[in-house]
Chain A
Amino acid sequence: MFSSALHAKAFDYIYITASEGNASGGHTALRFDDETYHFQHYDGGIIRLIKDTSTDFDFQYRYLENRTFHQAALNLNDSDYEQLLNHFSLHFLLQKQQDDIRKEINLNIALLNNQTQHSQLNIKGAGLFSIKAVPRKTESLTNYQLQQQINQKYGADFLTQRIVQLKSEVNALHPEPWPKNSLQLSEVTFSPIPYSFASHYLDSISKILLLETIKNNYTLNPQHYFSPEPSLFILSQAEISQLKRFQLVLSHNLLTLINSQRPDWGNAAFSLYARIISLSLSIESGKFVFLDTFRDSSPVIDYTEVARYETKLLAQKNNALARIVQIKAALFTEQHIITEKTYGQLEMLSNYYYEREDNLQNKQGIRISGEQLLASKSISLPEMLLPKITDRQIAEGLARFEAYQQSIEQQLHALYGYDLFTRNCVTEITRTISHLPTNNQQIKELSQLTDKNIISFIPFGSFRNLSDDYTKQALPSFRHQQLAAMYREENSAIVFLREFNTLSATDYKFNDQDAAFLIFTDDNILMRPIFGSINLVAATIMGLYGSFSLAFDSGKALKDGTMGILMSLPELAFFNIRKGSYKHLSFPAN
């Protein structure tokens, strides 16, 4: 029935085993090679389609959350495979567009309410420069050369005239009604996002600030660049020559950008100009000077946690350094032309390395992720640059955008409201597939997966209902992979005694994502009720302690104990939900 066609391509239906907290029902996903699509329950009670790279998805679920995958491979011919992949890609973009419409409305409301501290109301890239610091000689020279090039290309008064022109444009802006088709959401139509008052306003301010930065020779913000110590970052003369050629290309790009018709060139030009200056500093010092490319909202762990995971963070730092050696060598091969992306990869990894190196040494918190290919530090919209529109325009605009907000929220709930039984991560996969016009029998069967029996809407049930004709395999969780390797290399009894409990297990450390437990129960089904009883006792003790310490820890111990009891109960009946999660693992080499 499911005989493979010639040139068949496989995609995978994945069931991810349960985990404590918000995933006790398990999870499901569809994998198309290096892209994985899945539905998640979001704040506000809606369910959304997510696209992750398959490596990121695996790292999150199999490694950090420590959950085993059960995977079934379905073979399709090229055309059906592409059709199904395009279908999911389109739905993902369609939903992202709807989320962006919502963000755009919120942005306009924030601007009209003068909420200068609102997270969206900022000028991206402007934070890379400082008006207070004194520019270095090299920076001034680079700026002078750039201004000369601008004068040659666009005329002597270009910067001044463009600033005046943009300011006049900004003063003429006011909120306008949106076209109706942008406000009518549909599950199948891509809604256009209007170029709204707030976006237009912020884009224009960004351009003005960038042109003023160049005109007034503002300096790079010293807080946002660094030069790592190791000799690896020292540049040879040949490498400096290549960086000079790269800098010339970037300067040419900047010249084009500042006269572009593209609406958002200000943000991009900030990143580009900052990179040009940082390259000048590298060339002058003979050593790499990198911009801080961590995004503004990068997650930070405090030093207590850094100290706890010091060994892992040190290993990550050393691995990064080893990879930087390879990336640098590839970047400077003779035939290679440095591009924004290849340079960005080196800068990004150097940020990852330096964040660990510097903060481990200085015993400070660490930004654990969030480095990007381009630097983009934001500043809040300065109060003096808030729009100067009349009270009436503000009131009318606000009333309109608040009505839009209400309408969009209602439509999103109507279209994508989460429901435990009828609209969850399983049913949404089958429902999305059912919208695809196809004659392919496998795709049709997959779209009917949730109709088969009473448990088919649960991830485990849906996977169980898949035909046995598909190739099925289990991909073990991080802990199971570690255990298998240990059992291969060490004495089994010692491994068991060391690894069965959370106190002596290698790698595992209690963390705030796990409720109290003593013994891992996902390895041994027969012993599960006995181990579960011990976990139940431990969680009960924790809960009792928590009831006494309520006033001191805001109820954290009580909550952990109660959750521990809840997670232990299924273990008494041979079921396992809790796996024990991991933090700050290094990304697997393979």
Chain B
Amino acid sequence: MQIKPFLFPFIMIVSLAQGCSFSYSSKSSSDSSGSSSKSSGSSSSSTSSESSNDTEKYQQQIISYSSAYLSTADFDRLAFSRGVSEIASANGITNWEDDDATLIAIGRALKKSNITGSAYETYKDQIANSDAARMKLIQKGYEMKKD
């Protein structure tokens, strides 16, 4: 990649004609944080079974979103739920409220966001809609050593 300094102006003129890439994805509204792949023709969606790696990737998406959301001052359960739904749906999950992987990931996010004590109990109760089995799964995620 050696290049002579006298060529710099020419490189600049050529490069500045348009600058960096314009968004090809701006033509599509499908891109989302939850999107796992653009097409089943791509190898990223060609896995033959749901591996633990797939689950971990899905959980990481939920953890990233939940941690970012929980970092805001006001927690709005309805708005938060819609964000989780978007990621779950892109990953083929309809009823995420009873999905183990999702609830465990939310627990992991609560831990990662350093939410403790009564604040943690309130969030857990609200997200699980006071359902004992769901709260147990959130707790399981919270107590995991990861993150």
Contact = CB atoms under 8 A, between A and B. Distances in A.
Interface in B17-62: 17-26, 28-33, 36-50, 54, 57
26 contacts: A22-B21, A25-B18, A28-B20, A39-B20, A55-B37, A93-B33, A96-B32, A192-B72, A195-B79, A262-B81, A264-B82, A264-B85, A268-B85, A271-B89, A272-B95, A323-B48, A339-B50, A344-B92, A352-B39, A372-B90, A420-B16, A460-B15, A566-B17, A587-B41, A587-B43, A588-B43
A323 B43 CA distance: 10
Given A341-B54, A369-B41, A94 B15 contact: no
A309 interface: no
A326 B38 CA distance: 21
B45 A345 contact: yes
Interface in B98-140: 98, 129
Contacts of A262: 81, 85, 97
A60 interface: yes
Contact of A297 (B25, B28, B44): B28
Interface string A17-54: 01001111111100000100011111100001011010
B69 to A, nearest CB: 6
Interface residues of B, number: 68
A140 interface: no
Contacts of B11: 455, 458, 460-461, 575
A271 B94 contact: yes
A373 interface: yes
Nearest to B13: A570
Nearest to A53: B44
B21 A40 contact: yes
B8 interface: yes
Contacts of B93: 340-341
B68 A93 contact: yes
Which 10 residue pairs of A and B lie closest in terms of their CB atoms, listed nearest first? Answer: A373-B92, A425-B20, A22-B22, A344-B92, A40-B23, A369-B39, A330-B48, A253-B95, A25-B15, A195-B78
A59 B82 contact: no
Given A24-B14, A336-B49, 14 more contacts: A22-B21, A34-B44, A60-B24, A93-B64, A96-B32, A264-B81, A268-B89, A348-B40, A352-B40, A369-B38, A420-B16, A454-B8, A460-B15, A461-B11
A27 B95 contact: no
A42 B38 contact: no
A40 B79 contact: no
B76 interface: yes
B68 A268 contact: no
A70 B1 CA distance: 10
B21 A573 contact: no
Contact of B40 (A23, A38, A42, A351): A351
Contact of A326 (B19, B24, B48, B81): B48
Contacts of B15: 18, 24-26, 458-460
A40 B25 contact: yes
Nearest to A588: B43
B33 A96 contact: yes
B12 A56 contact: no
Interface string A43-84: 100001011010110011000000000100000000000000
B97 A256 contact: yes
Contacts of B129: 261
A18 B85 CA distance: 38
Given A25-B18, A25-B20, A199-B82, A323 B46 contact: yes
A459 B20 contact: yes
A272 B38 CA distance: 22
A405 interface: no
A326 B8 CA distance: 53
A234 interface: no
A373 B21 contact: no
Contacts of B79: 192-195
A395 to B, nearest CB: 26
A379 interface: no
Contacts of B43: 55, 587-590
A392 B12 CA distance: 56
B64 A341 contact: no
A560 interface: no
A458 B19 CA distance: 8
B10 interface: yes
Given A192-B74, A345-B45, A369-B41, A340 B92 contact: yes
A394 to B, nearest CB: 24
Contacts of B57: 34
A464 interface: yes
Nearest to A70: B1
Contact of B76 (A195, A253, A371): A195
A209 interface: no
Nearest to B17: A24
